Amino acid sequence: MLDAAGELFRTRGYHATGLNQIVEAGKAPKGSLYFHFPGGKEQLAAEAMREAAARVQERLTEAVADAPDAETAIGAVVDALAAELVATDFRAGCPLATVALDAAAQSETIAVACRAGYASWRAAVAALLARGGVPAERAAELATVVLAAIEGALLLARTDRDDAPLRTVRDHLTALVTREIT
């Protein structure tokens, strides 16, 4: 049910996704929704955001482990996001952004889950940059720039139905990281 909810929230938004749609997509009896998520849709969304953030965190960790340097790792992550966006016909952008924009202002529970996810991604990027020789404080600042640029590129690519913004951001981020490390 968490996977189904996460995917529906990601592609349709929090407010446009009904509990009946989640139950149907999750192939579960409706009673199980409130049994497992007594806080209802809000609790389900927060837990789905935590799970989605953890999956992205795993992908970041794998990209970092497989890459010889920070530039290559960031490029690989952006390329993977672009490929996924194209494969889903531009429906699946960031797994947190749609819900963060749609519901975080009205729900502290959802906001906390989204903030934690973004914080974990920023920390992973900062650690990658620090490992490449960027001083810790600068690495944290640069990680925010990297994440914000990727998030913005995902939004533009989804809106334009073209992965060109992601390719452009990838190229500029890798150049920026190269300058910072050297």
Q: Higher model confidence: residue 31 or residue 16?
A: 16
CB burial class (10 A; 0-12, 13-18, 19+) of residue 125? buried
| Domain spanning 42-181: CATH superfamily | Tetracycline Repressor, domain 2 (1.10.357.10)
The predicted model gives 10-22 an average pLDDT of 91
Give the pLDDT confidence score for residue 30 in this predicted structure. Answer: 77
Give the pLDDT confidence score for residue 116 in this predicted structure. Answer: 97
* Helices H / strands E in the chain, number of each: 9, 0
The predicted model gives 88-108 an average pLDDT of 93
Of the pLDDT bands very low, low, confident and very high (cuts 50, 70, 90), residue 124 is very high
Full-prediction pTM beyond 0.85? Answer: yes
Are 70 and 129 in contact, with CB atoms under 8 Å apart?
yes
Of the pLDDT bands very low, low, confident and very high (cuts 50, 70, 90), residue 64 is confident
Q: Which whole-number Å values give the CA distances from 41 to 44, 49, 99, in the listed order?
A: 5, 12, 12
Q: In angstroms, rounded to a whole number, what is the distance separating the alpha carbons of residues 121 and 61?
A: 10
The predicted model gives 23-42 an average pLDDT of 86
